[in-house]
Structure formats: structure tokens, C-alpha cells
A and B are shown apart, each in its own frame.
Chain A
Amino acid sequence: MDFEDSPAEAEFRAVARRWLDANAPKEFEAALRQAGFGELNLDGIDVLTASKSWQRRKAAAGWACPHWPREYGGRGLTPIQQVIWQQEEGMYARLATPFIVGHGMCGPTMMTHAREEERRRYLPPLASGEEIWCQLFSEPGAGSDLAGISTRASADADGWIVNGQKVWTSFAHLSDFGLLLARTDPSVPKHRGLTMFYVDMHSPGVEVRPIKQANGQSGFNEVFFSDVRIADRQRLGGVGEGWHVALTTLMNERLAIGSGMTTGFEAIFNWCCSLARSGAPVFDDRAVRTRLATWAARSSGLKYTASRAITALSRGTTPGPENSIGKLVAGSTMQEIAEFALGLAGPLGVVSDPRSAVDGGRFQAMLLRAPATRLEGGTDEILRNIISERVLGLPPDIRVDKDIPFNRIPSRSN
């Protein structure tokens, strides 16, 4: 066991590091390092402008989506090289936030299911950040039960007409294109009546409205479709095969191994250390030690779970299912840590005003954001289903709606 690179890996890391040293936007380093759960603040510089500029600079040198094939705007990196790149890019990757959905999910789906001419048209500008993509999956009536969506795509002589509503669409307000899952046949069981399309977000009839979230920020949108026209060549996969295509999208979730998910342990430990310095005997409290030690062990457990996955990549094998625990552990830990930190602050814990709050309001922002982490991209409950069914091999849930036509599935209204 060791934490060393192989000679080839070390050589690649040096290449990546040299390029980053010469090109990374160091002027944002402090702000990116500080960034917690508030919105990114780059001292008056527009974040999207900064994001697009960094992505463009990477694209020009072949570092935009380096694990993609060269002909689609990538660099053809192996999975382990991609992890090394992510480690080296580090906090600067935060600038690529608006491109995450496109790079992580839409791009791989286009690569698998689009025709070659479309791949060459759409993937390079997607990689370089010139065009932004979103994923139009969740609906007000279909979240965890994604196959229960009801946005309708009806065939006509010229292609398809779309009506319906999507929700929780990240970056839709910035997007040029979206991956759209729609129902094309409500008379067959739900998984069989779906079809995948890509849609120009500037088409007539597409309306994007920001959602004001529970924590007051707006990172997501609702998207309304009113008689939106889509050509049949914008279909990905066969009619009625949308669920199959959606699964490839969901399974192509970003290879987040290199970065790992933050639990907030480092933040609360650092803050507790500063409390101890000002005379408050925070570490004398058994309860504080117990909670912090438990979170420390959980955080290191996640960190070394990622190391084990990287080991598998480095040996040229596929990582096991261990990494599926990341978000499940990190989300609820973050919530526990935020609640505990506010409690340690006593009455001042309620104050979120960054000028007066403890640690600049970091834990208050964490507290208000944490519920979303436990929901987005698969709720804690869906993740437990996935672990128990795909990893532990337990029988699937009994699904009462599996074999009946979508339009006859019982709901509150029928």
C-alpha cells in the first residue's frame, strides 16, 4: 500500500500541474478557497463570465473535458488521468459549476445516443462552455418516481409537439440546449412510453422561471413547454426507449472520485480550534469530542473510500460500488454538523448576518442548504434502495404500477 503515483502517473501530474501553474486564474484563489454554501463572490466580477473564460482557456489547451475523445473536444485521458487532473485543478473546478450537468450527463448521453454529425456539432462547444446544457427530467409529479413523468411529446407530420412542465432544472436559465425526457405513449406501462430528445432552449414556447428555494437562493428553475416544436432528428434512441437512454444518463454521473464530497468536518473542527484558543473549553466537553471524532472518522472513511476507487482505476479495473455511499453519508453528516455548530454558538447560533455570525455565517448557510443535498440527484431513500438492490442483491420493491398502462395508474386525482 502506498499513496504514490506510478512513474507514468507522476509524469502526467507534472504536465497538468505545469499547465495549471501557468494558466489558472490565481486572482480568484482566495475567493474559491473561502467559498462555502453561499453564492460564489468574486469581488464584483460576474461569475458566469469568469466561468466561461476559464473553461475557454482550458478548451484552447485541450483541458476542457479531458477524458472525452479528442474529436469531441477532449484529450482522450484514461480514467486515472482524469482523477489526477481533477485533483490538480482542485478548487478551480468550482468555476465550472454551470457546466457540470452538461459535461457530466448530457455530453455522455449525446456521445452514446446521438448521430456522429450531431456529436461533432454539439460536443465541442459543450466542452468549451460556449454552449450550456441542462437536463429536463424531474417534474412536479415525478421526482424519485422519474418514470412517472407526464410531459407529453405528440407526433405530427413535422416531428413532435411538446407540452408540460419540468422542475428543479439546474442552470436552465443559462442553457442553450436541454436533454428532454417526455412521454410519447401514455397507453403503455410507464417505462415503455418514454422517449428522449434534445431541445433548443431558445425555441418558441420554452419558458424558464427561477425557483426561490427554501434557503432563499435560486439555483434551480421550472421550465414550461407550450406547443414547443422538436424535429424528429432531435430524438435520441428509439421511440419508447427513453427510459433506457435516461438510465445511461443517470449512470454517467460525473466521476466525482477525485474530489470527494465535503461533510463539513474540516469547517467545524477548524472553528472549534479557534474557539478553544479564545478560552472557551470546547474540547473539554465529552459530547464535543464524541461528535467530532465520529464525524472525523466518517470523513476519513469517505476520503479513503475514494482512494480505494482510485486504486482500482490505477490498476486498470473498474471501481466497486463503494463510492455509492458518498452523497448519502455526506448529506446527513453536513446537516448534523450544521445543527451542532449552531448549538455550540448558543443564542448567537441563530444569527446568519455574515458580519455578526460565528465563522462568517458558514454553518447557518450549511444548515439551510443541507436538506437539498439529501434530495438532489437521488434522495437518501433512493440511494438506500440502490445500495440494497444493486450492491447487496436484495429483491426489488413491489411495484403496483409496473404492468398497467400509464394513463390508468392510480393517483390522488383518479
Chain B
Amino acid sequence: MNLDFSPEQQRMREAARRFLAERCPPAAVRKVLEGEGRYDRELWRELAELGYLGIAIPEEFGGSGGGYLELCVIAEELGRVLAPVPVSSSVYLATEFLKIGGSPAQQAAYLPKLASGASIGTFAMAEEAGESVAGSIHAQVAAGRLTGTKTPVPDGDTADFAIIAAGSANAPGPSLYLVDLRGAGVERRPLATIDPSRSYAELTFSGTPVEPLALGENGERVLARVLDGAAVLMAFEQLGGADFALEAACAYAKDRWAFGRPIGSNQAIKHMLADMYVSATLARSNCYYGAWALSTAADALGEAAASARISATQAFQHCARNNIQVHGGSGFTWAVDCHLYYRRSNLLALALGGLARWEDRLIDTLRRQRAATEL
């Protein structure tokens, strides 16, 4: 039994934590939050130089040839500091779509640029309110040209290219296409969101040229697999944020005195913090299971990814929300960092589809497993 990271991976975590503490303090997050750039370009470049962006990309494509476990470690550390960079769009999604669904030519063309940070990719699926399902995708591809509107697209205003889910006349259900966002026929409109430290945009396509990535049933298979993997990675990012918010709340509860005693000696506060610890611990354990399933390509990936995603979403929201409560009035000021975590926890909760999507994924997977064992 080994459900923990290796000593080498732990050392990598320590190095990443030291680097990010120096290079991504709250002030760096605030710069983007307050409108100085749509992401931290310098940090992005340094993350690429350290090999973090290409950590799960094979060496033949310019990656550092690590694996998903290493990427999980990095995701958790980026989540702790709320790194204002397009990591989920470019690394967890675009890179994985190319690795899993791309042709050798597409992989050779795009993966090296993703690994070096020279190119940013994203994934565009949603078009309207509610979870994205086959019936909610109206964007259409005909004769190699895409027409329709995708919104909100994470990092849609800064990405160089996107993987798009769209329908077409020759394949039932949504297929996946690759589109150059720098070319003609793309209109981008930046969107204000609840967390401006990660950028979003509305993308309108009018006869934009696309190339196919994975069509029809193969597209659905690739989409499900990439979203499961991204859910594990996003869960680690959420776990990092949850842990940090819990630590911040504990530190404040020890430091702040009221009624002649530290507020953290009151059971009302202690028990709130204990419950936050419980949420974060359940999330961590599910995340490790998800990391195992992702790194070993286990059949259990769907179940493990959904469990990790659900419990990490709940944990980050729980810890970020109560971190403000423990801080009292000061926690609701712009100057104190609590709101950065609160914003991010609610942004990430919806970024890959909300709880309802992952509840469905978990229940449907468990039902299928059970039906299979009964046969």
C-alpha cells in the first residue's frame, strides 16, 4: 500500500513552494486582480523555465518527461498561492487534449510550444446557462469553418488557440476541433467575473477555419477522459487553496484576542476550524486516490476524479467561506487576502462544470460498476 507521494516528489513540492512563496505572493495576485495585465507573464515564463508547464509532456515534445503525479504536486502548490496564470486552460486541458486526442502532426506542432510556455491553449465548451450537454452546444462546423459563440471561455482573451466542442453535419453529437484564435474570424470580448485574477472572455466565430481533433464517438471519449484528468488536477489546485485558507484562519484565531482571550479558544471558532480540517482531509485523501487513478490509467478514473472534484470543491468553498467568518470584519476588507481565496474557490467550483456535473459523473459511474459486478 502506497497512497502518498515519493520522497523525490516531496522534494519537488518543497522547491515549488519556496519558489512560489517568493515569486507569487498575494501582491502578485492582486496586480492581476486589479487590472495590471490579464495574467502574470513573468511568472508564466519562469514556470515554463522550471519545466513545470511541460512536466507531464513527453521529452520528445519538449516536456520534462515527468508524470501526472508531479503535475498534481505542482497544481496543489499553484492553488495554495492562487497563481494568476492560465495553467488549468493550457496545461490541464489544451495540453491533455493534444496528448490524448491529437494526431502526431498536431502533437509535434503544439506540444513543444505548450511546454515552453510560448503558446497558451484553452478549451471552449459552454455557450449558455446550465451545465454543458450535447443539446446546449449550438456552435457548428461546416466545410472546415466554425460558426457560433462560446462563453465564458477561461483565458479566452489571452490564449493562442483553443480546443472547441462543436456540432457538425457528418457526426452526431459534439466533436472536438482545434482553432487558431490569432487568425481572422475570431472576435474576443473580455468578461468581468467574480475572480478577475483569472481571465475569461466571450469568443464569437464567424466562418473561422478549424482543424479536426477528435470527431464523433472518439470526440466524446477523448472529452470524457480529458475532463476526468483535469478534474483531478483542478481538485489538487482546490486542495492547495483549501489548505491555505484553513491555515490562515487558524493563524488568525490564535493571534486575535477578544473578550480577554484568543478567539481561537472559543469552541464556536474551534469547532468551525475542526470541520474545515475534516473537509480538507477528506478532499486530500480523495485527491490522492484520483492521482493514483490518473497516473496508472486505472478503470476507476471516472469515479476517482469525480470524488476528488466533489470533495475538493466542497473543501475549498467551505474553508474560504469560513476563513472570512473567522477574520470577522477585517476579512471583508479589500486589503486583507481572504476575499482572494473566496473568489477563487467559487470560480474553480464551476470551471470544469459545477458540482451537479460531477455528482452525475460519480453516480453514473458507480451504477455502471455495480451493474457490471452483477452480470
**Residue positions of A touching B, CB distance < 8 A:** 1-5, 9, 269-270, 273, 276, 283, 286, 289-290, 292-294, 296-298, 300-305, 307-308, 310-312, 314-315, 322, 325, 328-329, 381, 383-385, 387-389, 391-398
Query: Digit string of B262-306 for contact with A (CB within 8 Å is 1, else 0)?
Result: 101101011101110110011111101101100110000001101
A5 to B270, alpha carbons, bound, how many Å?
39
Docked-complex contact B362 and A297, CB < 8 angstroms: yes
A301: which of B250, B270, B271, B311 is its contact (CB, 8 Å)?
B311
Contact of A325 with B289 at beta-carbon distance under 8 Å, contacts A310-B1, A384-B275, A392-B274 already known: no
Docked-complex contact B310 and A393, CB < 8 angstroms: no
A-B contact pairs, 22 of them (CB 8 A): A2-B1, A3-B2, A269-B366, A276-B367, A293-B355, A297-B307, A301-B282, A301-B285, A301-B311, A304-B286, A305-B281, A307-B3, A310-B1, A311-B1, A315-B4, A328-B278, A381-B271, A384-B271, A384-B274, A388-B264, A388-B277, A398-B261
Contact of A2 with B277 at beta-carbon distance under 8 Å, contacts A385-B270, A395-B262 already known: no
Q: Which residue of B lies closest to A308 (CB)?
A: B3
Contact of A300 with B289 at beta-carbon distance under 8 Å, contacts A311-B1, A393-B250, A395-B262 already known: yes
Docked-complex contact B2 and A322, CB < 8 angstroms: no
Q: B359 at interface (Cβ–Cβ under 8 A)?
A: yes
Docked-complex contact B282 and A305, CB < 8 angstroms: yes
**Residue positions of B touching A, CB distance < 8 A:** 1-5, 69, 250, 253-254, 261-262, 264-265, 267, 269-271, 273-275, 277-278, 281-286, 288-289, 291-292, 295-296, 303-304, 306-307, 310-311, 314, 355-356, 358-360, 362-363, 366-367, 370
A151 to B261, alpha carbons, bound, how many Å?
34
Docked-complex contact A311 and B362, CB < 8 angstroms: no
Docked-complex contact B270 and A394, CB < 8 angstroms: yes
A322: which of B281, B304, B311 is its contact (CB, 8 Å)?
B281
Contact of A296 with B362 at beta-carbon distance under 8 Å, contacts A1-B291, A325-B281, A392-B274 already known: yes
Min Cβ gap A264→B in Å is 15
A286 to B261, alpha carbons, bound, how many Å?
45
B274: which of A297, A302, A388 is its contact (CB, 8 Å)?
A388
Which residues of B lie under 8 Å from residue A286 when comparing CB positions? 356
A392 to B295, alpha carbons, bound, how many Å?
31
Which residues of B lie under 8 Å from residue A300 when comparing CB positions? 285-286, 289, 303-304, 307
Min Cβ gap A84→B in Å is 9
Which residues of B lie under 8 Å from residue A3 when comparing CB positions? 1-3, 292
Which residues of A lie under 8 Å from residue B4 when comparing CB positions? 1, 308, 311-312, 315
